[in-house]
Amino acid sequence: MPPVGNPFVGQADEVKSAPILAARVLLGLVFFGFGVNGLLHLLPLPSGDGAAEAFIHGLTASRYFFPLLFVTYLLTGAALLTGRFVPLALTVLAPIIVNIIAIHLFLPSSGGEVFLTLLVAALEIFLAWFYRATFRPLLRARYEFAPAEVQMTGEHDDQEQAFRNAQIS
């Protein structure tokens, strides 16, 4: 049973760990901030040159990509900031972060963009390692399904139980 008053139910260690809290909040701020900025256009997004410009133009022409991306940033950033659904947020962000890394590896980028990319990747890996137990079931090659136990209620309990016993044997 989790400690009483713990806002991170089932994650008592996180409250005691300043590096985990700092990493989660910092990663949350980055994605929440980029999500708000992308949706509200508070600050202009950097424009690329050459191949980067063509790539961004292609994504913009699709008309759905950036709104979907910025809403995803906003929701995952909020999840990280609030400490709710953190493993889900990390799972959703993982392929996005891999794509951000690939973009900055293969297209010209500024030093600041590369630094932020490496920081985001390091925070994601650090948090994924902390939450690794929640990812173990996702990495099983096979999963054994067990029938759920059903509590019998109502007037047809005997008939339902007899039917289940016939199915089992």
Instruction: Assign 7 a pLDDT band (cuts: 50, 70, 90).
Output: very low
Residue 146's pLDDT is what? 67
Locate 27 and state its tokens.
């990663």
Following DSSP, what letter does each residue of 98-141 receive, concatenated? HHHHHHHHHS---HHHHHHHHHHHHHHHHHHHHTHHHHGGGG-S
Residue 4's pLDDT is what? 47
Residue 12's pLDDT is what? 46
* Domain-embedded: residue 116: yes
Q: Average of pLDDT values for 6-15?
A: 47
Residue 52's pLDDT is what? 81
* Domain-embedded: residue 94: yes
Radius of gyration of the chain (CA): 23
| CB within 8 Å of 157: residues ≥ 6 apart | none
CA–CA distance, 166 with 160 (Å, rounded to integer): 10
CA–CA distance, 104 with 113 (Å, rounded to integer): 8
pLDDT at 98 over 60: yes
* Domain-embedded: residue 76: yes
Greater pLDDT, 3 or 147: 147
* Domain-embedded: residue 158: no
106-124 burial, b at 16+ Cβ within 10 Å, e below that, comes to: ebebeeebeebbeebbebb
Instruction: Tell me the residue range of the domain where 69 lies.
Output: 19-135
* Domain-embedded: residue 142: no
* pLDDT-wise least confident of 1-15, 67-81, 151-165: 1-15
Q: What is the pLDDT of residues 13-43, one digit of tens each?
A: 455 689 999 999 999 999 999 999 999 999 9
* Domain-embedded: residue 66: yes
Greater pLDDT, 109 or 23: 23
* Domain-embedded: residue 167: no
111: left (phi over 0), alpha (psi -120 to 50) or beta: alpha
Q: What is the pLDDT of residues 115-165, one digit of tens each?
A: 999 999 999 999 999 999 999 888 888 877 766 665 555 555 666 666 666
Q: What is the pLDDT of residues 42-65, one digit of tens each?
A: 998 777 778 888 888 898 899 999
Domains identified in the chain, total number: 1
* Domain-embedded: residue 69: yes
pTM for this structure? 0.74
